[in-house]
Amino acid sequence: MGIWITGYKGMLGYDLVKILNNDYELILTDKDTTDITNLEEIKEIVKENEIDLIINVAAYTNVDGSESNKQIAYEVNAIGAKNLAIIAKEHDIKLIYISSDYVFNGNKSNPYIENDKTDPINYYGETKLQGEKFIQETMDKYFIIRTQWLYGINNGNFVKTMLKLAENNNEINVVNDQYGSPTFTKDLAIAISQLIKSDKYGLYHVTNSGECSWFEFAKLIFEIANIKIKLNSIVTSQYPTPAKRPKYSVLSNEKWLNEGFKPLRLFKDGLNEYMDLELTKS
């Protein structure tokens, strides 16, 4: 089975390659070789390779940057997804697209289900929702996974930011009024490896289990790393960002479980393994 992973050099791409490499023929591209906004370049890849499934992890992931660079965010996240859907449909190839909790406004106080009304909190969320819609309008054999708060070995993430800040500061302010489920890219890649074997197409919410605020997540990171630092709990208004963030965007994994897929472990367990890897890296 041939699997084309777009954006394979990114954070999730790194773990997908590690998880899938032994069992599948992987075709790996990133922005430097194949730009997903360019339909001709995509056609070339499909022409030259035997592809059964595309996993589109290529994305413009600069959430704050998306507010000022609207065109590039839309081109990559929405048009890129549309291009891949067109080609996938034409060649009867399955497609996986990774979407985001930012398609919701964050005003709920219990976990979001797949059928909840979307209302993107920021422009990045709007582009990811448009990507979802283009795929749904174009083809049937798709899996759309909404996830959130990703961290992994490759590229920057919240855990690395906290550890870096602790090197030069005696105290750190972290927002305590935004809730989600931190998700290890390795665990998400394992979940994707289950999906690949099924034909239960559709939209899924997939994250590690459990929920916390960013403040609680930071506290856990420093406990695991055994770093003593003064953590100050602040509210969102004290940490303004160009793109709004949801107050509560925990994603219910109930549909995922009901379809017979395995639950992802508790985020605390994922974080423990990740930090072991991160802290012992030379």
Ligand X SMILES: NC(=O)c1ccc[n+]([C@@H]2O[C@H](COP(=O)([O-])OP(=O)(O)OC[C@H]3O[C@@H](n4cnc5c(N)ncnc54)[C@H](OP(=O)(O)O)[C@@H]3O)[C@@H](O)[C@H]2O)c1
Contact set with ligand X (CB under 6 A): 6-7, 9-13, 30-31, 35-37, 57-61, 76, 80, 98, 100, 147-150, 155
At residue 25, the 3 state secondary structure works out as strand
210/225 Cα distance (integer angstroms):
20
- Smallest gap from Cβ 268 to ligand X, in A, equals 18
Half-sphere exposure in the Cβ direction for 272 (13 Å, CA): 5
199/138 Cα distance (integer angstroms):
17
Nearer to ligand X among residue 169 and residue 202 (C-beta) = 202
Nearer to ligand X among residue 45 and residue 139 (C-beta) = 45
Measured between alpha carbons, how far is residue 177 from residues 103, 113, 220, 247 in Å? 19, 21, 16, 6
- Smallest gap from Cβ 107 to ligand X, in A, equals 19
263/260 Cα distance (integer angstroms):
9
157/277 Cα distance (integer angstroms):
14
Which residue minimizes CB distance to ligand X?
10
- Smallest gap from Cβ 130 to ligand X, in A, equals 12
146/162 Cα distance (integer angstroms):
25
Nearer to ligand X among residue 78 and residue 231 (C-beta) = 78
Known active-site residue 124 = yes
Nearer to ligand X among residue 149 and residue 204 (C-beta) = 149
Nearer to ligand X among residue 11 and residue 260 (C-beta) = 11
Tell me, rounded to whole angstroms, the distance of Cα 148 from its chain centroid: 6
Selected catalytic residue, list 14, 97, 124, 248? 124
83/139 Cα distance (integer angstroms):
12
Residue 140's identity, in one-letter code, is D
271/178 Cα distance (integer angstroms):
19
Phi, psi of 123 (to 5 degrees): -70, -40
- Smallest gap from Cβ 124 to ligand X, in A, equals 8
Residues with catalytic function: 124
